[in-house]
Every structure is written in C-alpha cells, then in structure tokens.
Amino acid sequence: AAAGGLASPVAMLVVALPFEAWWIGASRRAALWGAVSAFVAIALQPFVGSVFPFGAAEIAAWHWLLPLAWALTFIPRIAALGNPASAQLDPATDERLENIIDAVVLRVGRHGEILDASAKARTILKLQPELLFGTGLFDRIHLSDRVAYLSALADMRDGAPARRLDLRVRLPQNGNGPTADNYRPFSLELMRAKEQQDVFTLVLRENDEVAGLREELAAANEAAASAEVAKGRFLAVVSHELRTPLNAIIGFSDMLLHEMFGTFKDPRQKEYVGLVKESGQHLLAVVTSILDVSRIESGTYAAEPEPFRFVEAVEMCQSMMRLQAEAKNIDLQAQIAPDAGEINADRRAVQQILINLVSNAIKFTPDGGDVIVGAKRIGSRLHFWVRDTGIGIAEEDFANLGKPFMQIQNDYTRRFEGTGLGLSLVKGLVALHDGTMSIESMPGEGTTVTISLPVNGPKGRSTDKPGVLPMPAAKAETKGDRHGSLRKTA
C-alpha cells in the first residue's frame, strides 16, 4: 500500500506470502494460511486511504528491485530442492531436542530420505552427519530391521501417531572384529508436528538395556578367555611338575623289578614294586591325556602329518592291547580291507585314537566277548571302526559322550577305572584331521565307533613341515535307526 497499491511492482510480493509460509513451515496448512493472508492484503487495498493518512505513494522504477531481489533467492532454493542434504533442521527445534535428550535428531523426507542430522551423530554413531544423508542411515540398518523401519515410515505418511521401534545400526569398523559384530542396538522414535505433513523427525538413541547386556556379555567373554588362559597355564605347570617325579618313580621301580641291585627277600616286595610301577604308569597316562586335551582345546597341538600304511598302526595297537584282551578272554580281531592302503596323517595321533577306542571297547566288554578293528577306503576318505559286544550305551548317556571327565553313569561301568578323557581326546584328534566320528550303540548289544579321515590329510596343511593344527568347531547330533540303536555323529 505504501508503494502504490496493486499497480506497483511491489504488489508481486503478495505471492511470497503463501510461498514463504510453505517453505518455512513445510506443510500445506502453512501455505493455506499464507494464501489467506495474501487475499486479506489484496482485499484491504480500497480501505488504505481511510486507514493510513499518507495514502498511496507514487510508483517509481526502483520498485522493481524488490520483487527482482526476491526472485533471485529462487536460485539457491531450487538447488536445495535438488539436493536434500542441503536442507537444514529448524535450529530452534534441533537445539531444544538435543538439550533435552542425548540422541541423534534426524529430519526425514516423505520418501524416507534423510534431509539433515544433528551434530551428536559424531559422538553417538561415530559418523559425520553428512554420511547419514539420503539413504546413509537406511544402508546401515540391519537387514532384518529394515522392514519394520520402512513400515513405520509408511504408517507415519498415512497419518499414524508417533511410534517407537528398536533396531540395530552398523557403526564404523574399529578393526577389532568382524563387520557383523559392529551392529549396536538403538531405539528410534518417529514423530511429526501437527502442521507438518511431508517431513518427519526421528530421534535415534542408544538402547540402554540392550547396551548394558552387551557390555555384561563382553565382560563375561573376557573373563572366560582369561580363565581359559589361566587353565592352560595351570595344566601345563602341573603336568610338568607331575611328569618329572613320575618318570623317576617308573624308572626306579623298573630297575628294582629287574633286581639290578639284588634280589627281594620277600616275594611281596616285588609285587608291591610292580604295583608302584603300574600306578605310576597309569598316573602318567592320565597326566598326558589331560595335557593333550588342553592343547587340542587351545589349538596348540603340534602334529606331523606323514604318509604311512594304516595297517601298521592297527598292528601296533593290537600288540599293545593283546595282554589286556587276553586277561578278559576277549577275541581282538582286525578286519582291514586290502584297499585301505596309506593315509596322510599324524601317525602318533592315529595310533592314540586306535588305542583309546580299543581300550574302551575291552574295558566295557564282558569276559569272552569280541572286539573288532575294521577299515576300508571309500573315495578320498578312510573309514575305520572299533566294534565290541559290550554293555552298550543308554539313550540318556549319549549327551555326555565326548565331554572331558564325563563317564557313563550306571551300576556296571562304575566298577571300572578311568578319567573320561579317552573319547574326548579321540574326538579332538579326529577334528584336527578334518575327520568325523559317529557312534552307534544299543544297551546290551555293544557299541561301534566309526572314524572317517581324509586320505590326503587335512586341507591347507603341508606335509613337509611339522606345525600346529587348529581345532575346528565340531557339531554333534543323535539319531535313531530302524533297529532301535542310537547313533551320534560328531
């Protein structure tokens, strides 16, 4: 009105009222109120003279500069429309939210694109805010949580009230673990002001409860790792301290048994010295088994794969276990197929597997029973087994097979000595060679333990130099067959 009314170029600024209201308010309601204000301004022009004493001024050429200057502001605004990342949060709203809560405040467009992020993204997400613009946040949300996130945005577009959901967001890699371990739990709140229709505000904060559980789990894992290291050191020290005097006991008792320094005056003296030697050898075997199991579990078991004829290992096992079998009148047989041939493996480990299996079979087989060691080659793997006619294994005892220091608990087997390390050691040695172990048994009808090893040795291992074989993870499952026997595969 002061510039000359509707005839002045300044009157073109009436268009700025609805546009600026929409631009700042980002809602249809704001644009509507701006248009109403412009209509009121036009409608009041005839009454300007009666309201304002100065009346209409003379129209001048420089009046064109005002609408022209306003029109020039469209250049950066149009560029901002093409680049959503240049849009900014309302400073007052952003500052107010950050002062109230410790969270990342994000502004999201109608189609889910991030328009802006607050500065706290640097401390909470360890990311620059610009990296979240566009689809930056969506790309970092865990795959299984993206459906819930998109569904929440769709509900907000349809006019749903504010809602909250839990999701996992991938943080930058810190170099201390796999990428999948960098997902952290967050709580996301979606909200929208009453006058806004196409822009939402997201508040992303850490899920304190889940984060606390994660910290407790990390502390527990660290404590377990420390305990594992301490256990390994303890076993190594104890084994060394025990084996040294045991070797002396066994050596001196052997010298006494051979009467190197004179004969015994009483036959009972020789008998007692023999018991001392047997007890020392038994204790030394237990200590050695404990140390071997500890090395296998820690992945430091030294092995020297070499090609050798499998039948040689079986013959050595037979010669060692023959006296034990004859003491119980057990028929120890070998059924080795001609195609068994050679196998590339650690000879000592294979012999230890056979000895432990045959020793268990003889121990749990009644007098007059049978123990059979068999082997055959199937493709690139050698399958060998130890079958006995012993007491068998009950269904409820299968869960404890292969666990260190665990024995089958029933009235019959409690009469036998043992630490429960034999089968655990066998399982570990088999896993070191990329092999598998299966057990078939039925109470009262015997047990068959089958081992399958690759003929060419474990993958990725050179046979030229000795080294350490890492302990792979082993899985086990128990199955039944049509004959009612149980089968456990490891």
Mean pLDDT for 46-50 is 67
pTM: 0.47
pLDDT at 99: 54
Mean pLDDT for 127-146 is 90
* Domain boundaries along the sequence of the chain: 5-82, 84-206, 214-298, 303-489
Domain 84-206: CATH architecture, name and number where available? 2-Layer Sandwich (3.30)
- Range with the lowest mean pLDDT among 168-172, 225-229, 468-472? 468-472
Element (H, E) at 489: strand 486-489
DSSP state of 469: -
pLDDT at 470: 44
Give the separation between CA 37 and CA 43, rounded to whole angstroms: 10
Secondary structure percentages of the chain, helix, strand, coil, to 5: 50, 20, 30
User: 303-489: which CATH topology?
Assistant: Heat Shock Protein 90 (3.30.565)
Give which of 277, 278, 343, 285 is closest to 312, Cα–Cα.
343
Q: Are 401 and 486 in contact (CB under 8 A)?
A: no
Task: Give the type of residue at 149.
Answer: Y
pLDDT digits (tens, 9 = 90+) for 393-422: 877 777 667 565 555 544 444 454 555 567
Q: Are 350 and 315 in contact (CB under 8 A)?
A: no
pLDDT digits (tens, 9 = 90+) for 170-191: 988 765 544 446 888 888 888 8
84-206 and 303-489, same CATH topology: no
Give the separation between CA 89 and CA 237, rounded to whole angstroms: 65
Give which of 220, 224, 155 is closest to 191, Cα–Cα.
155
Give the separation between CA 126 and CA 118, rounded to whole angstroms: 12
Give the separation between CA 304 and CA 325, rounded to whole angstroms: 30
Among 245-249, 369-373, 428-432, the range of highest mean pLDDT: 369-373
Give the separation between CA 56 and CA 54, rounded to whole angstroms: 7
